[in-house]
A and B are shown apart, each in its own frame.
Chain A
Amino acid sequence: MSQVQGFLDQLGARQPLDAEPSWIAARRQAGAARFEAVGFPGRKDEEWKYTDVSAIARQSFTLADSNELSAEQCDAFSIGIDAYRLVFVDGIFNSSLSDVDALGSDVTVEPLSRALADNHEAVGGQLGRLNNVDFSPFSALNTAFMGEGAVIRIGRRVVLDKPVYLLFVSRHHETPVMSHPRILIDAASQSQVTVIEHYTGDSEAANLTNVVSEVFTGKGAQVVHYRLQEAATSEFHISSLHIEQTRDSHFRSFNLNLGAAIARNDIVAELNDENAVCDYYGLFFGRGRQHMDNHTKVHHNAPRTFSNENYKGILDDRARGVFNGLVHIKRDAQQVRGYQSNANLLLSDRAEIDTKPELLIYADDVQCSHGTTTGQLDEKAIFALRARGIDEAMARGLLTLAFAGEVMESVTLPSIATRIERAVAGKLPDRFNLQDLVEAADA
Chain B
Amino acid sequence: MASEEMEQLVRREYTQGFVTDIESDTAPPGLTEDTIAFISQKKNEPDWMLQWRLEAYHQWLKMESPSWAHLDYPPIDYQAISYFSAPKRPEDRPQSLDEVDPKLLETYEKLGIPLHERAALAGVAVDAVFDSVSVATTFKDKLADAGVIFCSISEAIREHPELIKKYLGTVVPRGDNYFAALNAAVFTDGSFVYIPEGVTCPMELSTYFRINAANTGQFERTLIICEKQAQVSYLEGCTAPMRDENQLHAAVVELVAMEDAYIKYSTVQNWYPGDENGKGGIYNFVTKRGDCRGDRSRISWTQVETGSAITWKYPSCLLRGDGSKGEFYSVAVTNGRQQADTGTKMIHIGKNTSSTIVSKGIAAGRSDQSYRGLVKISPRAENARNFTQCDSLLIGDKCGAHTFPYQEISNSKAMVEHEATTSKIGEDQLFYCKSRGIDEEDAVSMIVNGFCKDVFQELPMEFAVEAEALLSVTLEGSVG
| Residue positions of A touching B, CB distance < 8 A | 46, 50, 331-332, 334, 344, 346-376
Contacts and interface: CB of A to CB of B under 8 A. Distances in A.
Interface in B390-434: 392, 394-424
Contact of A346 (B68, B402, B403, B411): B411
Contacts, number: 119
B150 to A, nearest CB: 40
Interface string B186-226: 00000000000000000000000000000000000000000
B169 interface: no
Contact of A369 (B405, B412, B420): B420
B409 A357 contact: no
B393 to A, nearest CB: 9
11 contacts: A349-B412, A349-B413, A354-B407, A357-B405, A359-B401, A361-B422, A364-B394, A367-B421, A368-B420, A370-B419, A373-B418
Given A357-B405, A357-B418, 12 more contacts: A46-B68, A331-B398, A354-B409, A360-B400, A361-B392, A362-B399, A366-B394, A366-B422, A366-B424, A367-B421, A371-B420, A372-B407
Interface string B356-399: 00000000000000000000000100000000000010111111
A372 B417 contact: yes
B68 A371 contact: no
A370 B403 contact: yes
Nearest to B380: A349
A360 B399 CA distance: 11
A358 B402 contact: yes
B407 A349 contact: no
Contacts of B406: 354-356
Contact of B416 (A352, A364, A367, A375): A375
B421 A368 contact: yes
Nearest to B401: A361
Nearest to A367: B423
Contacts of A332: 397
Given A46-B68, A346-B414, A368-B422, A360 B397 contact: no
Nearest to A370: B420
Nearest to A348: B412
Nearest to A360: B402
Contacts of A358: 402-405
Given A352-B409, A354-B409, A331 B403 contact: no
B10 to A, nearest CB: 15
Nearest to A363: B397
Nearest to B417: A373
A50 to B, nearest CB: 8
A312 to B, nearest CB: 15
Contacts of B415: 373-376
Contacts of A368: 420-423
A351 B422 contact: no
A70 to B, nearest CB: 43
A371 B409 contact: no
Nearest to B374: A356
Contact of B419 (A344, A354, A367, A371): A371
B143 to A, nearest CB: 44
Contacts of B423: 366-368
Most buried by B among A358, A364, A366, A372: A364
A356 B417 contact: no
A359 B410 contact: no
Contacts of A355: 406-407, 409
A371 B416 CA distance: 10
B82 to A, nearest CB: 35
A374 B412 CA distance: 9
B437 to A, nearest CB: 26
A351 B414 CA distance: 12
A334 B407 contact: no
B408 A352 contact: yes
Contacts of B397: 331-332, 334, 363-365
Contacts of A365: 397, 424
Interface residues of B, number: 34
A356 B407 contact: yes
B409 A344 contact: yes
A236 to B, nearest CB: 23
Given A361-B392, A363-B394, A369 B422 contact: yes
B177 to A, nearest CB: 16
Contacts of A369: 419-422
Contacts of B405: 356-358, 372
B407 A353 contact: yes
A293 to B, nearest CB: 14
Most buried by A among B398, B400, B412, B419: B412
A4 to B, nearest CB: 26
A406 B396 CA distance: 37
A254 to B, nearest CB: 24
A399 to B, nearest CB: 14
Contacts of B407: 353-356, 372, 374
Contacts of A350: 379, 410
Given A46-B68, A361-B394, A369-B421, A352 B410 contact: yes
Given A372-B407, A374-B416, A364 B395 contact: yes
Given A349-B412, A371-B419, A372-B407, A364 B402 contact: no
A179 B93 CA distance: 76
Closest 5 CB pairs of A and B: A364-B394, A346-B412, A359-B403, A352-B410, A375-B415
A276 B401 CA distance: 23
Nearest to B370: A360
A370 B403 CA distance: 10
A287 to B, nearest CB: 13
A39 to B, nearest CB: 21
Nearest to A344: B409
A364 B412 contact: no
Given A364-B424, A375-B414, A356 B395 contact: no
B412 A347 contact: yes
B330 to A, nearest CB: 16
B402 A373 contact: no
A217 to B, nearest CB: 26
Contacts of A364: 394-397, 399, 424
B403 A357 contact: yes
B198 to A, nearest CB: 37
B331 to A, nearest CB: 18
A371 B402 CA distance: 14
Nearest to A362: B400
A370 B392 CA distance: 12
A359 B415 CA distance: 22
Contacts of A352: 408-410
Nearest to B395: A364
A301 to B, nearest CB: 15
Contacts of B379: 349-350
A348 B399 CA distance: 43
A50 B409 CA distance: 12
Contacts of B417: 371-375
A365 B394 CA distance: 8
Contacts of A375: 414-417
Contacts of A354: 406-409
Contact of B411 (A46, A334, A349, A360): A349
B392 A357 contact: no
B70 to A, nearest CB: 8
A374 B392 CA distance: 23
B420 A359 contact: yes
B422 A372 contact: no
Contacts of A360: 400, 402
A374 B400 contact: no
